Amino acid sequence: MRFSTAAAAAIVAIASSVSSVNGFTVSSSSLSSFTSSSANNFVRRAANPRAYTQTSSSSSLNMSATPLNVGIVGATGAVGKEIVGVLEKRSFPVANLRIFGSERSAGKNVETKFGSVTVELFSEDAARECDVVFLAVDGDFSLAHAENICAGNDGAVVIDNSSAFRYKEGIPLVVPEINAEATKGKKLIANPNCTTAIGLMAVWPLHKLFGLKKMVMSTYQAASGAGQPGMDELMEGTRSVLSGERAVAENKIFAHPLPFNVIPHIDKFQDNGYTKEEMKVTWETRKICGLPDDFPVSCTAVRIPTSRAHSESIVALFDKPVDIAAARKALEEAPGVKLVDDIDNLKYPMPLTATGQYDVEVGRLRKNIAFDNALEFFVVGDQLLRGAALNAVVVAEAMVENGALQAKVAV
Ligand SMILES: NC(=O)c1ccc[n+]([C@@H]2O[C@H](COP(=O)([O-])OP(=O)(O)OC[C@H]3O[C@@H](n4cnc5c(N)ncnc54)[C@H](OP(=O)(O)O)[C@@H]3O)[C@@H](O)[C@H]2O)c1
């Protein structure tokens, strides 16, 4: 397939403007969106993550009171880079930031608001010296090291972004706006799958109102869900096609070429025909929301050639009759949610508007016409933020608040 020069130029322009965000060389315009009123609203509202109807002050963290030694493993990757940024923007009380990596990045310098940090070669002993360690590495790494890092009274609190511990009994799986209290007295916390965390931000306030009965989700997931290498493959593959170098892009990370394609396959296929990514939504929704082990949740997860922010179409069936005005009000008041639902002015959630935002966008809210007591809506969230880094840092904030995370030594 060939593009006209004008069409190709337009696509390249869009791709490069997105990549400037995804390459984490965040421009001043996208930075200003972080400090926009919506982000500030979130900061204020999330100070008490359980307070759904609270829109101001409430119990904010006294961040200056408890400076902590913070470690990040994997800060050169897609999620780890964002954790550094969220710690900076939320003024997390960092006494000392330590960044751990593999031989690939050990010795490199990372410039942060907390100073220039030299990446240390990871070791369990060094990580244990921290008060809190964010793991942004793969599941095998977490399985091998997370429990050793937090073992004993002198170990660190560990917040793990992988799926290694999400389904293990006794280890809380937390979206702080839903179940922050589960972190109390715990030292190892699992951060949820990004798709689940984003969707539940919208579903939870509606569940509180009408009582969730069943849920069907279809996703449109960005390349960066596969980490920095996924993002790089999309950008390079798109470039190779637009330049005329290749008719179809090469693929190593994804099962098929992603540019100009849609792939209904994320993670491994399971015996029941679902993929693991799809089953994560089912398993994690049940655990986070405290629903029964057989609670009906079905998902189809699809990779699309956007670079960042996952989109989800959700059909939610409820026990009680639904009311659109009440649903809108609940979403407007929910912490971490931004209702973007003004069809007359063509305003609805999109990856381009949700990228870099702390709030999850929810819109296209309507009564579903195929089922009784059902709502249908579209959710878009930055999966590297709400689906990973932001969620992890807000978990840490909740743990500071409830005493589960404290400085081990006076600093
Ligand atoms: N991408 C997403 O949207 C997303 C969302 C939610 C959760 N997650 C989860 O978050 C985790 C990180 O994902 P990612 O997308 O950020 O991956 P990524 O971009 O591939 O980054 C992986 C990071 O792991 C580090 N690493 C690898 N082996 C290491 C070792 N032996 N010792 C120390 N560091 C090591 C790498 O550092 P070096 O460069 O030093 O090797 C790199 O910084 C995964 O478990 C993923 O499933 C990802």
Cα atoms found within 13 Å of the Cα of residue 99, Cβ hemisphere only? 25
Q: What is the pTM of this model?
A: 0.86
Helices 194-210 + 276-289 axis angle, to 10: 40
The SS3 of residue 365 is strand
Residue nearest to atom 47 of ligand 1 (CA): 162
Residue nearest to atom 41 of ligand 1 (CA): 102
- Please state, in angstroms and rounded to a whole number, the distance separating the CA atoms of residues 96 and 131: 10
| Burial of 65 per CB tally in 10 Å (0-12, 13-18, 19+) | exposed
Q: Is the CB of 72 under 6 A from ligand 1?
A: no
Q: Of all atoms in ligand 1, which is nearest to the CA of residue 164?
A: 45
Residue 125 has pLDDT above 60, yes or no: yes
- How confident is the model at residue 322, as a pLDDT? 98
Query: pLDDT for 206-263, tens place per residue?
Result: 999 999 999 999 999 999 999 999 999 999 999 999 999 999 999 999 999 999 999 9
Report domain extents, the chain: 21-192+388-402, 197-383
CA of 33 to the centre of ligand 1 (A): 26
Q: Is the CB of 197 under 6 A from ligand 1?
A: no
CA of 76 to the centre of ligand 1 (A): 8
Least confident of 38-42, 64-68, 348-352: 38-42
- How confident is the model at residue 62, as a pLDDT? 55
Q: Is the CB of 307 under 6 A from ligand 1?
A: no
**By the 8 A CB rule, do 126 and 156 touch?**
no
CA of 207 to the centre of ligand 1 (A): 33
Residue 17 has pLDDT above 70, yes or no: no
Choosing among 3.40.710.10, 3.40.640.10, 3.30.360.10, 2.60.40.60, the CATH entry for 197-383 is: 3.30.360.10
Token pair 């706006």: residue? 177
CA of 212 to the centre of ligand 1 (A): 34
Least confident of 51-65, 137-151, 349-363: 51-65
Q: Is the CB of 391 under 6 A from ligand 1?
A: no
| pLDDT band, very low/low/confident/very high, at 61 (cuts 50, 70, 90) | low
| pLDDT band, very low/low/confident/very high, at 66 (cuts 50, 70, 90) | confident
310 is catalytic: yes
**By the 8 A CB rule, do 396 and 159 touch?**
yes
- How confident is the model at residue 56, as a pLDDT? 26
Q: Is the CB of 22 under 6 A from ligand 1?
A: no
CA of 384 to the centre of ligand 1 (A): 11
Which of these is catalytic: 130, 150, 194, 299?
Answer: 194
CA of 82 to the centre of ligand 1 (A): 11
Token pair 């209904």: residue? 264
Close Cβ partners of 40 (under 8 Å, ≥ 6 residues apart)? none
Query: pLDDT for 19-38, tens place per residue?
Result: 333 332 222 222 222 223 33
Q: Is the CB of 198 under 6 A from ligand 1?
A: no
**For 21-192+388-402, CATH number?**
3.40.50.720
| pLDDT band, very low/low/confident/very high, at 64 (cuts 50, 70, 90) | low
| pLDDT band, very low/low/confident/very high, at 87 (cuts 50, 70, 90) | very high
- How confident is the model at residue 195, as a pLDDT? 98
Residue nearest to atom 29 of ligand 1 (CA): 102
Close Cβ partners of 363 (under 8 Å, ≥ 6 residues apart)? 339, 340, 341, 342, 347, 348, 349, 377, 378
In what order do the strands lie in the sheet containing 157-160? 120-121, 94-101, 68-73, 132-135, 157-160, 188-190
Residue of 138, 252, 312 best suited for mutating to test ligand 1, as the one with most atoms within 8 Å of CB: 138
Cα atoms found within 13 Å of the Cα of residue 296, Cβ hemisphere only? 8
Q: Report, as an integer, the average pLDDT of 92-121.
A: 96
Q: Report, as an integer, the average pLDDT of 34-61.
A: 34
Q: Is the CB of 224 under 6 A from ligand 1?
A: yes
**By the 8 A CB rule, do 353 and 330 touch?**
no
- How confident is the model at residue 382, as a pLDDT? 97
